[in-house]
Structure 1
């Protein structure tokens, strides 16, 4: 049941996102669209409550409950980022908005961008591990919590691997093949991109 609910929440996330953006830009109803987008966190709340009820009703804590915690952690850390990214592309494509800002590609700016993404992964791991720890305490010493502890290890490993990848962007910074642009050249390039 928990796996089915995770799938339903993921599909619901994208349905609400598309519906909210369509209302916001295509139907020209920005407040209604924003209200639909604000319903996104309800999906995670429902998943959290159902997972807790499942454990309370005597279900064995296993990988499904761990996956639910990771999904909630991911949504907390990356949900707003994902919505903002899709919103920018949707506004540009369907509402004549400016082109979405692309992440930097070179140098220290790229390393900083990757570092910020890594911090989101750390937040995801922290939220998921916290929820998993609550489940472990809830199950107690008498229950089998090995799979939940395994998920805690997995989220920590995910954050560590992402941290190493982000660090490579700092240590081996990619150089701009066009060389450093003068301020005047950069300003003209930005003006062209806005047209």
Structure 2
């Protein structure tokens, strides 16, 4: 832009356009990671549940570490293939939110392994639900915010359901917390193209 000073109306129009551009970018670039992590989590959850149910061998719990091992490289690969756009401040904030919640979840998982007295599924669901809700609030998309809140609330199901069936609650919560927002964001991105 030139050194021209904007009047009040032009400033408001510029701000509104920047917000709309950010929403479009977020919809375009945020839906796919939600889907990658959502589907991977549901598949791994059902696999762990099935193997525990069939064998009774709790060593199958180690399969949970397939999540970061498979979903993270796939997310990075997809991110590299997507159309490059200028990163905005909002993009960086959403990235920071997921970095903090992702690293926190990984750390809490190891603490649960070492001390065994944590309800790890409850904690992970609560953290991921909060991350999704925060993402929705940041990008101003009510569906994403509500789905994240539902995921966080679903964490209570892991307190009331006992045994390995907690894993089924966990998997179901990821449908609301990751799959619905991911498909919604991708649908918005396709409509805007």
State the TM-score, normalizing by the size of structure 2: 0.35
Bigger Rg, structure 1 or 2: 1
User: Comparing both structures, which one devotes a greater share of its residues to helix?
Assistant: 2
